[in-house]
Amino acid sequence: PRPADPDNSIRLTDNDAAIARLSAVNKQYISDPFIKSLVPRAHLQPSRPPLINIGTHVRTTAIDDLVQQWVQISSQTGQTCQIVSLGAGSDTRYWRLATGPHKNMISAYIEIDFMENTTKKIMAIRKSKELSAVVGPEARLALGGTALHSSVYHLLPADLRETPATALAPLITIADDSSKLCLDPSIPTLLLFECVLVYMSPESSSTLIQWFSDYFSKLPQHAPLGAIVYEMFGLEDSFGRVMINNLKARNVTLPGAAPYPTVESLPSRFLNLKFTAANALTLRVIRNRYIAPQELDRIAKLEFLDEVEELDLVLEHYAITWSIMLPVNAKADPAWG
């Protein structure tokens, strides 16, 4: 038999993310009418524990909020924006945005993942009326059915650890139309790294982020480039070691977590690569300071949580970093800068 592909376990982390999302939707922590179409046999999937549902709620609410701010900041300058989701897996954010109040403000939404995952997602999109209706009738397959292009939505296969010039080539030209620029550096662009950079070496992540920062800064009057990262961090303590060992048991390693032992160290990932400003907060702080009290009350009534102390410990080990790179002489927006 052939040795198992070690990347398989990395690709499978998407199943966990999608099932956690489905669970949080079924238990009414968050609302997402699209996730059920992306999870095979959705009605048979077991719920996740309350602690995981709460984590999914905080993470989703915080990232949704930052994305919404980004779209609004862009629209105030009279521009549409582009969003690039790296390691997008079964994420539904495109469908939620494309059916929400900001749908006309997004000119391109590009998702990238391993070829096996993009192929699976394309099949789920084609199977689901809801998903294909939003993508639009003009959607067409490319690269042997591993890529999909529509007027706004693009799904592209790549191994993000490869040299970005190769891995991201389809980003610059739409697969079979080399005259068309897919990623336009004159349009405000947001990069999303939701639970993906921990699976890559710090060198690969830096090279990848650097590619985007070079691609934008080559144009002197480039548009703002923003980034949001959601990830585990600070895994050197005893709780962190338990998290690492649980994943190791499933063949998943976290080469990307080591350089960021504290939440204060997370912004350096961007500040070292020409980004103008960066902030990071743990999910515990986000939950305590930024989620409205009425929303916390609503969540508290959904399920009984007996692991109250463990909840803080888990939320302490996840963080969201957001960062922006502005052209020289541009003024920062207070929400992002």
153 DSSP β-pair partners: 109
Q: To the nearest whole angstrom, how small is the minimum distance from the Cβ of residue 37 to ligand SAM?
A: 15
- Tell whether residue 7 is among the known ligand binding residues: no
Q: Which residue has the tokens 């515990």?
A: 284
Instruction: Please tell me the number of Cα atoms within 13 Å of 163 on its side-chain side.
Output: 2
Q: To the nearest whole angstrom, how small is the minimum distance from the Cβ of residue 304 to ligand SAM?
A: 26
Q: To the nearest whole angstrom, how small is the minimum distance from the Cβ of residue 152 to ligand SAM?
A: 19
Question: Which tokens in the block code for residue 198?
Answer: 């921990």
Residues that bind ligand SAM (CB under 6 A): 10-11, 13-14, 17, 87-89, 91, 113-114, 117, 158-161, 194-196, 199-200
Between CA 277 and CA 6, with CA 230 as vertex, the angle to 5 degrees is 125
3-state secondary structure of 307: coil
- Tell whether residue 310 is among the known ligand binding residues: no
Nearer to ligand SAM, 51 or 254 (CB): 254
- Tell whether residue 96 is among the known ligand binding residues: no
Q: How far apart are CA 323 and CA 147, in angstroms?
A: 29
- Tell whether residue 289 is among the known ligand binding residues: no
Nearer to ligand SAM, 87 or 234 (CB): 87
- Tell whether residue 138 is among the known ligand binding residues: no
Q: How many CB atoms lie within 10 A of CB 264?
A: 9
Nearer to ligand SAM, 16 or 330 (CB): 16
Q: To the nearest whole angstrom, how small is the minimum distance from the Cβ of residue 88 to ligand SAM?
A: 5
Closest alpha carbon to 112 in 149, 145, 159: 159
Q: Are strands 225-232 and 318-325 parallel, antiparallel or unpaired?
A: antiparallel
Nearer to ligand SAM, 62 or 223 (CB): 62
Q: To the nearest whole angstrom, how small is the minimum distance from the Cβ of residue 194 to ligand SAM?
A: 3
6 burial type by CB count under 10 A (0-12 exposed, 13-18 middle, 19+ buried): exposed
Residues at the annotated binding site? 59, 87, 159-160, 194
Residues at the annotated binding site for S-adenosyl-L-methionine? 59, 87, 159-160, 194
